[in-house]
Structure 1
């Protein structure tokens, strides 16, 4: 079953090129460990939230940009074996120095609870982080299916909802603190793929009007703690030279 390592980081805006170079150098190693794809997205429309937001998730500074990324694996076993191998692989030491503060990066392992459309050809992504009561996994998947119908109608080309399966607690930041997860809740890492930002923005306006009278209290999670933002692909291993 497909499995994702999802991550969010804060990168000094001035280091955008250095970050892209670092990722390009790292991809061949991840591929050798069995990874199927790696996608790195640069924040271009990251709003401030009242309760949670991507800035707070990684304690981003004024001169930093939020990055939303994932590595796709054929299954959890392959991912687990890869991370174990990385710990002792001398090749890791040959990679360029990380051009950001890795101690504030949040990451975890996620299995799709819902997928639709395609993962290829996106020129823009909406990324989402939230916390869902574990008992509401099935209702959440059902809600995602209804949501996909609206996104697809607006021009979206794909959607993935990743359910947290191996999400560690961190010293400085983590997905639990980012989403203010409560006892019994599971972090969810998800995205909607769009052909471009203009299509996404137009769809958002249309959906806002259509959903204006929706009873949000019926959602199977606390929507006030969900965060979202817009990202442009910085690196995609399927299109990299």
Structure 2
């Protein structure tokens, strides 16, 4: 089964090109370890939230931007083996220092809960982090499938909902802190793919208008703790 390593980090905005170069240099190594694809996206609209947001998730500074990244693996076993291997790989060590503070990066392993349409290869994405009760997994999946029709109608290319199965606790930051996850909750790392920002922004307006006055059903998670942001693709190994 397809498996993802999801990551979020804060990168000095001035280091954008250095970050892109670092991602491009790292890809051949990840490919050697068995990765299928890596997608790196750069935050262009990551709004502040009242309860959670991407800035707080990685303790971002005013001069930093958010990156939302995933590495696709053929399965969890391949990912686990790769991370173990790279710890002692001199080629990885030779990569040098990262152009951002890795101690504040959050990461974890995720299995696809729902994947419809084109979930990679896009120029623009909306990324989401949230926590949902483990007992509501089936209900969350149903909600996502029900929502897809509206997203597709307004130009969304694809939707990926990924359920955390190997999400480590961190000393400084982690996905649990980011989403204020409670006992018995799993973290989700999800995204929607769009052809461009204009289509995404217009879809948001149309969906808001369509839902105005409509009584919303109870969601199988606490929406107040969900964070979202808009991201442009800065490197996609599948696009050369």
Normalising by the residue count of structure 1, what TM-score does the alignment of the two structures yield? Answer: 0.97
Corresponding residue of 1:157: 157
- What is the rounded CA distance, in whole Å, between the counterparts of 1:6 and 1:214 in structure 2? 34
* Cα displacement (A) at 1:214: 4.2
Q: Which runs of 5+ in 2 are unaligned?
A: none
Q: Deviations over 1:153-175 (max 9, x none)?
A: 11011110000000000000000
Which deviates the most, 94-103 or 22-31? 94-103
Distance in structure 2 (CA, Å) of the matches to 1:219 and 1:174: 24
Specify the alignment match of 2:127 in structure 1: 127
Q: In the alignment, which residue of structure 2 is the partner of 1:199?
A: 199
Distance 1:79 1:44 in 2: 29
1:217, CA displacement in angstroms? 6.0
Task: State whether residues 22 and 96 of structure 1, in contact with CA within 8 Å, keep that contact through their aligned partners in structure 2.
Answer: no
Q: Which residue of 1 aligns with 2:21?
A: 21
Partner of 1:228: 228
Are 1:66 and 2:60 matched, yes or no?
no
Distance in 2 (CA, whole Å) between partners of 1:41 and 1:214 is: 33
The range that moved more, 54-63 or 215-224, is: 215-224
Q: What is the correspondence of 1:55-204 to structure 2 with a 5 Å cutoff?
A: 55-204=55-204
Q: TM-score, normalised by structure 2?
A: 0.98
Distance of 2:215 and 2:226 partners within structure 1: 16
Please say if residues 22 and 97 of structure 1, whose CA atoms lie closer than 8 Å, have aligned partners that are also in contact: no
Question: Which has the higher mean CA deviation after the structures are superposed, 197-206 or 118-127?
Answer: 118-127
Q: RMSD between aligned alpha carbons? A: 1.0
Match of 1:211 in 2: 211
CA deviation map 1:114-152 (0-9, x unaligned): 110013441100000000000000000000001111110
Preserved contact between residue 155 and residue 194 of structure 2 (Cα < 8 Å): yes
Q: Deviations over 1:184-227 (max 9, x none)?
A: 00000000000000000000001111223344460000000000
How many pairs were matched up?
240
* Unmatched runs of 5 consecutive residues or more in structure 1: none
Report SS of the residue matched to 2:155: coil
- CA shift in 2, pair 1:216/1:106, >3 Å: farther
